[in-house]
Chain A
Amino acid sequence: MQNIRLIAMMFGLLAIGFTEPVWGWQRIPEIQAVLAGTEPRMAGVRLEVPAVTQDGSSVPVTVTVDAPMRADAYVEAIHLFATRNPSPELAEYTLHPLLGRASLSTRIRLDQSQAVVALARTSDGEWLGAVESVRVTVSGCLSRAGTYTSDNHMQVRVRVPDRLRTGQVGEVRTMIQHPMETGLREDASGRVIPANIIEELHVKWDDQPVLRARWHRAMAANPYLLFSIAPAQSGALSMRWTEDTGATAEYRAAIEVRP
C-alpha cells in the first residue's frame, strides 16, 4: 500500500507540478555564461517560491545558502534566473561575509509557469544550485487595475535594527517605489512604454561594500530586498539605488553594536 501511495504521489506530482520542464535549464545561454563550463552541485541552496501563484507580477522568492559567512569562507555571489521569461536573468548579488548569513528575499515577475533557478558561488569557487517550478495562473477574481502612480517615484523605505549585540545577525528590509518598466508593455494608445528600471542597489557598512544587487527588468515593481547584517562594532549602513537614467536614491542608518 505504501508503495502504491508513493507511486500515486509521484504520478500526482508529475501530473500537477512538473508539466513545465525543470530540465534543460543548464542549456540557457545566460546561465551557461555565468557557469562558464562548471557543473553546479545541486545542493546547499534552499529556494523558496510558491508552487502555485495567482499573481505572476510579484512572486516572492527567498534564497538561503547553507554555507558559512566567515572572512575565510563565504558565499560570494547569488544569481537568480527565470527559465521562460522573455529574458531569463533576474538578479545578481555580490555578498560580503559581514552580512552574517547568505539569505535574500525579493520579489520577481514570472511571465508564465516555469522553473526558477538559483545559483550560488562560494569563495572557494564552487557553484551550488537549486531549481523550483512555479505554476502561474491568472485569476479573474484577482484582476487588478494595472495603473501605477508615480507621485512617490524612487521613494525608499528601509527598516534597520537600531542596535545589535556583537555576533547577532540583524535583518534589513528595503523597498524603493519604482514601476520597473520592462519595455515590453504598451500604453493605452498602443505605444511601447520604454524600459525604465532600478539597475543597482549598493550597500556599504561604513566604507566597506557588503552587498551589491544588479537587477534586470523582470524584478517586480517596487523592488524589495531583505538581507542581513552582522557587524562587529557600531557603525553605519548606507545604501544607494541607481536607476538606468543615472538617477539615485540614498539611505543611511546607524546601528549600535554592544557586547
Chain B
Amino acid sequence: MFNQPISRRESIKRIAGFSAAAAAWSWPSIAIPGQGASGRVVVVGGGFGGATAAKYLKRMAPELAVTLVEPNTRYITCPFTNLYLGGIRSFESLWHSYDELRQRYDVEVIHELATDVDVDGHTVELASGTRLAWDRLILSPGIDIRWNELDGYDEAAAEKAPHAWKPGDQSRLLRQQLAGMKQGGTFVLVAPDNPFRCPPGPYERVSMVAHYLKNHNPSAKVLLLDAKDGFSKQGLFMQGWAEHYGDMIEWVSRSNDGTVIRVDADRLEVETEFGMIHAADVLNVVPPQKAGFIADRAGVTDASGWVPVRPDTFASALVDDVYVIGDATQAAPMPKSGFIASTQGKVAARAIAAELTGRVLLPEPSWANTCYSLIAPEHGISIVGVYEVYNGQLREVPDSGGVSPMGADPLFRQLEAEYARGWYAAITQDVWGTPAS
C-alpha cells in the first residue's frame, strides 16, 4: 500500500479527468519510462468478479501471467436462477464455461479450491497442496453461509430447506421441491437482515415462485418472513404482486414478527422472535452471510465478517498486494450484485495492471449498477445506482439513479423484462464469453 505512487495516481486523474462517461472498454495507455515489465497475478474465484478481473487483466496487460483458481468446471449464475425456479428458463442456460478465458485470453485456469493464503510469502495454497506464487492476489470468493447463526440452520438442514443462494445445485433441489409441493401447500421464504447478496433477490424469488404456482398450484400460498421492515423496490414489487398474484404472496415485516430465529428443517417449521411457529411445505431459507472463507485466511476481513477495501482500487485496506472484489467486500452503498462485482473486477484489474506494468491506463470505468427483477415473465422492474469516490469513501452520486416508475403501463414493464434478458446476455458474454442464445 505504501508503494502505491501517489503522484501517478494524481496524473491519472489529470489525464482522464475522472471521466465516468468515457468510451467503451478499449485500453489506450500512456507509457511511463523506467517501470518494470511482467508480473504474476492469481485470481481466486471464477464468478462475476473474478472471471471479469482475469479477463480484463489480460486485455489490459497481456504480458502478465494470470492464473484463475476456481473449483467448478462450469459457473452457474445466481442471476436468473429465480427464472429457472419460475419455469421460464432452463437450468443449462445458467451455465458458463471458462473456455474463452483459457483459449482467447491465455488465462491459466486451475479447477481447485484455494485453501490458504500466505500474505508474507505471497503464495496461495490449493487443496492438492500446490502453492502458487503471486505478485498481486485478487480474491473474489463471493459469500459463505454463516451456518448455525440462525439456530438450527446448518449444512445438513440446507439439504432439506435449501437456501439456493450460491451458484450451483441448491437451486435444482429447490426447483424439485417446488414442483413436488402438494396442492394448496405453503412455500415459506425466510429473508435475512442487511447486508446480504442481491438485495432484491428474495422478492424476485417469491415473484417467480408465485408465477410457477399460479399455473401449477393455484391454491398454494407464499409466505415471506422478513427480518427487515423494508426492502429494495418494495412499492413496485408489492404493486406487481397484487396485480399478478392477488393475495397469494404474504409479506411479514420485522415489526409484524417476521424475524425468524430458529429453523427446524426436519419438521419444515420456523419460529419467529416473538414465538410464532410457521409450518411450510417447502422451506427456502436465505441465511445470514459473510465473505467466503479464503478472505479470512488472507486476513482481509474485519469483525463484521466482510472485507474493507480502498474504494478507488479495491485493494484490501488491511493487507498489502491483496485485492478483494465482489460480494465479499464491504462496498456499501454499492449492492452485492453480479453487475457491480464485475465492475469492481475491472477496477482492480486496471489498478493492478497499472502498478505492475507502469503504464497508465485509460479510461476510468463508470461505476454504475442496474438491478433488474422480474415480477412476471413480461413484467420487469429496475433500480439504477451511480457511484463515486468522495472524500475517500464510496457514495451514491447525488440525484443520480432511481427506480422504475410506479403504475407504468404493461408495455413499459414488458420492455424492462426485455432489458433484463438483454442485460443477462450482455454481461455473461462480457464475463465468460457466452454467446447470446
Contacts and interface: CB of A to CB of B under 8 A. Distances in A.
Contacts of A158: 274
Given A138-B333, A138-B396, A222-B255, A145 B385 contact: no
Contact of B1 (A8, A58, A175): A8
Interface in A115-144: 135, 137-144
B318 A12 contact: yes
A53 interface: yes
A16 interface: yes
A203 B254 CA distance: 23
A146 B369 CA distance: 23
Contacts of B304: 50-52
Contact of B308 (A1, A12, A53, A157): A12
A53 B310 contact: no
A222 B229 contact: yes
B274 A144 contact: no
Nearest to B387: A140
Given A144-B234, A177-B255, A139 B274 contact: no
B273 A19 contact: no
Interface stretch (B36-44, B192-200, B285-293, B343-351): B192-200
Interface string A23-55: 000000000000000000000000000111111
A55 B318 CA distance: 25
B332 A139 contact: yes
B395 interface: yes
Given A15-B392, A140-B396, A159-B275, A52 B332 contact: yes
Nearest to A156: B274
B337 A141 contact: yes
A16 B275 CA distance: 39
B319 interface: yes
Interface residues of B, number: 53
A193 interface: no
A141 B371 contact: yes
Interface in A86-125: none
B5 interface: no
Interface in B359-412: 369, 371, 383-385, 391-396, 401-403
A9 interface: yes
Interface residues of A, number: 38
B333 A19 contact: no
A137 B403 CA distance: 18
A214 interface: no
Interface in A146-166: 146, 157-159
Contact of B391 (A19, A53, A175): A19
Given A52-B332, A141-B385, A145-B230, A9 B255 contact: no
Contacts of A9: 318
Interface string A184-221: 00000000000000000000000000000000000001
Q: Which among A12, A19, A138, A175 has the highest number of chain B CB atoms within 10 Å?
A: A12
Contacts of B308: 12, 16-17
A4 B320 CA distance: 9
A123 B63 CA distance: 69
A140 B332 contact: no
Contacts of A50: 304
A11 B4 CA distance: 14
Nearest to A8: B1
A146 B234 CA distance: 9
A9 B320 CA distance: 10
A84 interface: no
B234 A141 contact: no
Contacts of B333: 54, 137-140
B120 interface: yes
A139 B235 contact: no
Nearest to B303: A51
Contacts of B316: 12
A240 interface: no
B230 A140 contact: no
16 contacts: A12-B308, A51-B303, A54-B194, A138-B333, A138-B396, A141-B199, A142-B231, A142-B232, A143-B233, A144-B234, A145-B230, A157-B257, A158-B274, A175-B274, A177-B255, A221-B229
Interface of A: 1, 4-5, 8-9, 11-13, 15-17, 19, 50-55, 58, 135, 137-146, 157-159, 173, 175, 177, 221-222
Interface of B: 1-2, 119-120, 194-195, 199-200, 228-235, 238, 254-255, 257, 273-275, 302-304, 308, 310, 316-320, 330, 332-335, 337, 369, 371, 383-385, 391-396, 401-403
Given A137-B395, A159-B274, 9 more contacts: A52-B195, A53-B194, A55-B228, A140-B335, A140-B384, A140-B401, A141-B337, A142-B232, A175-B255
